Amino acid sequence: MPAESSANLRSLPDGPNLRHLKDQAKALLRAEGASSLSEAQLKIARSYGFASWPKLKAHVESIGKAEELADLKRAIDTNDLDRVKQLMIRNPALHHASLGYGKRGPLTWVAECRVPWEPPGTARLEMAQWMIDHGSDVHQGNDGPLGRAALMGYRVPMMELLVRNGADVNALWTGSVPIICSACETVEPAALQWLLDHGADPNRDKQGRLYKETALDYLLGTYSRSEQLGECIEILLAAGGTTRYDEPGVLDILRGRMASLAEKVDRDPSLVSRRFPALDFGATGARRLTLKGARFCTWPRSSERWRQCDFCSREAQM
């Protein structure tokens, strides 16, 4: 940033060009306004309020980089493949630029299909393939491309493209969370089923992971609320998924299986007053409410079974 502020200082033009500034320094040297090129560059830098030429150079380069990144993001968001090619051919370092969700890279942003928020069309898929073929890492940002693509079922075509090019359905996204948890986080049955069909392990080895949940644990604890929760639970159970929340009746309630729950209560009436301290999920997205200590009773308050329930009848008298 400028070292000082003065009415005598010049202002840098919009989109300053380092070559133009170098030409100014050379012109100053030719006009004998400086004894050396380094002195001329220092005078030019100070004329713009910078303490040194390296500081002016770094400032101008940062502006150019920001504008270039903005141009690349705009090209991706508008599915302008020709412009993406032009920018990345001119500057291959853009394949590794800090762009998109979590600054995890352009390919991750392409794969997420977030702007525009729509299924990946031909142009977006061609863009992803071209980027992979010309320098983008399918594992960039700790497997960000597949991790973000798996958030939505309509992105399955992008998931297919990434896996064809070496993405691993059992990778740890960000180095800590299995890819399958992306589909669990958003409660997306299509993405979840696709991952399982292509070898994703619902009970991936927990060794070395920051988060220890199975896919089903993660699904039950996610902050998303969806009518598709029951379907996702069924998909994971059918694939051999396990959960530490398999308390009597809990999965029945979450899947909407009231008949199965009623059978369990008939066999063990004490379930209606049982507490569930193991249900520690729910504290996500800055929420602090969990289901610890919760109980359930399935009978309507007007029903005979509710009146016969010892716990409920005591509650009614309180």
Give the DSSP H/E element, type plus range, for residue 173: strand 172-173
Flag whether 148 is in a domain: no
Flag whether 222 is in a domain: no
Is the distance from CB of 219 to CB of 232 less than 8 angstroms? yes
Flag whether 160 is in a domain: no
Give the DSSP H/E element, type plus range, for residue 46: helix 37-47
pLDDT of residue 315: 41
Flag whether 38 is in a domain: yes
Going from the C-alpha of 101 to that of each of 73, 97, 140, 141, the distances in angstroms are 12, 12, 12, 10
Domain carrying residue 282: 245-318
Overall domain count for the chain: 2
Regions of the chain short of the pLDDT cut 70? 1-8, 12, 14-15, 59-64, 206-211, 282-318
Smallest Cα–Cα separation from 101: which of 154, 68, 65, 150? 150
pLDDT of residue 5: 47
Spatial separation of the C-alpha atoms in residues 269 and 297, rounded to whole Å: 10
Which of 74, 104, 128 is the endpoint of a domain?
A: 74
Give the DSSP H/E element, type plus range, for residue 177: strand 177-178
Q: At what angle do helices 81-90 and 53-77 cross, to 10 degrees?
A: 150
Ramachandran quadrant class, 286 (left: phi over 0; alpha: psi -120 to 50; beta: rest): left
Spatial separation of the C-alpha atoms in residues 142 and 144, rounded to whole Å: 5
Residue type (1 letter), 281: F
pLDDT of residue 261: 86
Flag whether 292 is in a domain: yes
pLDDT of residue 282: 64
Smallest Cα–Cα separation from 192: which of 163, 233, 164, 227? 233
Evaluated on CA atoms 247, 251, 256, 259, the torsion sign reads negative
Q: What is the DSSP string of 99-123?
A: -SGGG--HHHHHHHTTTTTS---HH
pLDDT of residue 88: 93
pLDDT of residue 23: 85
Is the distance from CB of 106 to CB of 100 less than 8 angstroms? yes
pLDDT of residue 210: 64
Flag whether 64 is in a domain: yes
Spatial separation of the C-alpha atoms in residues 254 and 158, rounded to whole Å: 30
Three-class secondary structure of residue 223 per DSSP = coil
Flag whether 258 is in a domain: yes
Flag whether 267 is in a domain: yes
Look up the pTM and report it: 0.72
DSSP state, 172?
E
Which of 56, 74, 92 is the endpoint of a domain?
A: 74
Q: What are phi and psi of 136, to 5 degrees?
A: -80, 140
Smallest Cα–Cα separation from 184: which of 156, 155, 150? 150
Spatial separation of the C-alpha atoms in residues 303 and 264, rounded to whole Å: 18
Which of 74, 94, 119 is the endpoint of a domain?
A: 74
Q: What share of the chain is helix, strand, coil (3-state, %, to 5)?
A: 55, 0, 45
